[in-house]
Structure 1
Amino acid sequence: MPRPHLLVFCTVYALLLLHYPVLQIFNVEGFWQGLPAMYWYVALAWGGIVLLWIVLVERKSPPKNP
């Protein structure tokens, strides 16, 4: 089980990544592979958040010394 403060940090990080002022940075006319930059940013940020949560939740706790 991960430490609760790491999960809180991950949640705050996710909220900051998907907050309006940060999203506004990628709201440009640029396209890559036919998709707007905003779509790429949201998809990659969301995927990174999910991967970070998976790593934190699935991580094994170190064995406790008796």
Structure 2
Amino acid sequence: MTTLRVTMIDDKPAVFLPSDLAARLGVAEGSEIVFDEGVLRPSDSLADDQLAMMKDVMVRRRETLRRLAE
């Protein structure tokens, strides 16, 4: 997941893509990007922290979770 910050350019909101994200998307200056409704969302730091914590637990407890799923 990549978090982007909204800035203003000429009184219009704008988002800059980090170069690694632009490379992953295969876009450069002049490229068009399709906005898919529902994919972009405002950052919720609490939810982001909880998601990161759960990912960590899933990595550390992978074997236990696998056994529970059997």
TM over 0.5, yes or no?
A: no
- Which of 1 and 2 has greater Rg? 2
Q: Going by fraction, where is strand more abundant, 1 or 2?
A: 2
TM-score normalised over the length of structure 1 = 0.30
Q: Going by fraction, where is helix more abundant, 1 or 2?
A: 1
TM-score normalised over the length of structure 2 = 0.29
